[in-house]
């Protein structure tokens, strides 16, 4: 369940930090790459991610009291400690310990949480890269605390709760990252709808490869990109309100979900042209067209039609760049390199403003795409560590096991 060397290193760190007795639980939660359906989740529209082979792992020894102690294998994340209580004050903004506090706070609000833990933590999800390392950190802590305190919840409820928990760090996010980290399935990508969470696992055709490439530009959601992200969520709400207030929208469904499912896209875009202008028109256009693309993409994957899936990814990227304005020159460059090297489609993945791109290619083209990205993007960037460019493997969701 964890690579043997990683587990051994984590055990050694645990022993060094806390001594005996040894840890008894291992919780691990994967990051994710979103294939299509970007900036849709907080608008009540579906997403289409897969859980990654990269994860955050907690080696845990339950405590008899309500204290939580954390050490991280990554030196820049210092040791943290806190007490589980009714209102848990956050560490400084951007502190990694806040994702653990977020999990504890959410559970403590709903359940009598008597026991904390001592844990050694290790992650190999690239940070601030749009691959959801933050949600993986939160979900791992959540599962460990639930197991120790004997809290059990049905999966959809847990997915909803984990999404709410992350608001503790001040991001008005959707529920995609937590839902896929908890619900991922090996060999599948999942269409996920929200309120309530519903999942449609879709088998990944055997010869499809998704190549993930990190711009190496950090999109720190707890920091600089946070304002831009939260601004988009406000703009989407305002665009919908103004759209619905316009006379030509009279009698139409009143949510993005209702509009995408109840009105043909062409008609919706024409109406948006009448009812909205400027930025709000562009944001609205992205949200409804992206919502419609997710269902088309699901059908394309079911048919094994990689070309159609690739075209949808290209359209998604254009829309994110031009209408949603969350791309960057580095993301555009990675997308262009992948396409020129034979990928069938490519786009930014995650919130944007830096982070990663994802490209679809057939197995036989994958080495060429990877080689082109390494040569044309990373050769000039010394920060490249081999970690930045990889082929995604659709993996299982978070688990906690007794050792
Ligand atoms: P990133 O920044 O890629 O982890 C964020 C949100 C998602 C979703 C995407 C955009 C959080 C935790 N994550 O993901 O819910 O809205 O942006 O599609 O808020």
Encode pLDDT of 347-389 as tens digits: 999 999 899 999 999 999 999 999 999 999 998 887 777 789 9
Q: Provide the whole-model pTM.
A: 0.96
Residue 260 pLDDT class (50, 70, 90 cuts) = very high
- How far, in Å, from the CA of 136 to the mean position of ligand 1? 12
pLDDT at 224 over 80: no
B/e letters for 29-39, b = 16+ CB within 10 Å, e = fewer, are bbbbbbbbbbb
Which segment of 220-224, 262-266, 304-308, 390-394 scores lowest on mean pLDDT?
220-224
SS3 at position 25: strand
Whole-angstrom CA distances from 154 to 51, 161, 182, 246, 322 are 19, 11, 11, 41, 40
**Segment 290-309 mean pLDDT:** 98
**Atom from ligand 1 closest to the CA of residue 135:** 12
Structure tokens at 161: 């709760």
**Atom from ligand 1 closest to the CA of residue 163:** 12
CB of 130 within 6 A of ligand 1: the answer is: yes
Answer whether 381's CB lies under 8 Å from 215's CB.
no
Pocket test for ligand 1, best of 177, 195, 235, 283 (most atoms within 8 A of CB): 177
Residue 296 pLDDT class (50, 70, 90 cuts) = very high
pLDDT score at 221: 56
pLDDT score at 130: 83
SS3 at position 39: coil
Q: Which of 246, 242, 322 is nearest to 282 (CA)?
A: 322
Distant-in-sequence, close-in-space partners of 202: CB < 8 Å, separation ≥ 6: 48, 188, 189, 190, 191, 298, 301, 302
């Amino acid at each position: 369940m964890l690579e043997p060397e990683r587990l051994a290193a984590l055990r050694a760190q645990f022993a060094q930090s806390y001594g005996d007795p040894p840890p008894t639980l291992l919780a691990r939660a994967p990051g994710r790459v979103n294939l299509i359906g970007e900036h849709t989740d907080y608008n009540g529209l579906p997403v289409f991610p897969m859980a990654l082979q990269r994860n955050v792992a907690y080696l845990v020894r339950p405590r008899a009291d309500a204290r939580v102690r954390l050490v991280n294998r990554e030196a820049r994340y210092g040791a943290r400690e806190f007490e589980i209580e009714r209102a848990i004050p956050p560490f400084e903004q951007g502190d990694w310990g806040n994702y653990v506090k977020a999990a504890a706070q959410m559970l403590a609000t709903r359940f009598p949480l008597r026991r904390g833990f001592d844990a050694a933590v290790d992650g190999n999800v690239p940070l601030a890269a749009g691959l959801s390392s933050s949600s993986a950190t939160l979900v791992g802590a959540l599962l460990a605390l639930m197991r120790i305190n004997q809290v059990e919840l049905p999966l959809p409820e847990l997915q909803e709760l984990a999404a709410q928990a992350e608001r503790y760090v001040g991001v008005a996010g959707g529920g995609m990252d937590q839902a896929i980290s908890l619900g991922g399935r090996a060999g599948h990508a999942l269409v996920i709808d929200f309120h309530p969470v519903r999942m449609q696992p879709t088998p990944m055709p055997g010869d499809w490869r998704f190549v993930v490439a990190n711009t190496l530009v950090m999109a720190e959601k707890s920091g600089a990109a946070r304002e831009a992200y939260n601004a988009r969520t406000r703009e989407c709400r305002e665009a919908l309100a103004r759209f619905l207030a316009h006379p030509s929208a009279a009698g139409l469904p009143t949510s993005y979900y209702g509009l995408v499912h109840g009105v043909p896209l062409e008609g919706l875009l024409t109406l948006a042209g009448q009812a909205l202008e400027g930025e709000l028109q562009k944001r609205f256009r992205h949200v409804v067209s992206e919502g419609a693309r997710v269902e088309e993409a699901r059908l394309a994957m079911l048919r094994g039609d990689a070309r159609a899936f690739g075209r949808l990814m290209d359209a998604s990227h254009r829309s994110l760049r031009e209408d949603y304005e969350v791309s960057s020159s580095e993301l555009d460059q990675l997308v262009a390199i992948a396409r020129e090297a034979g990928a069938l489609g490519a786009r930014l993945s995650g919130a944007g403003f830096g982070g990663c791109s994802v490209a679809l290619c057939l197995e036989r083209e994958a080495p060429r795409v990877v080689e082109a990205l390494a040569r044309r993007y990373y050769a000039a960037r010394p920060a490249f560590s081999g970690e930045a460019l990889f082929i995604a493997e659709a993996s299982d969701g978070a688990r906690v096991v007794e050792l």
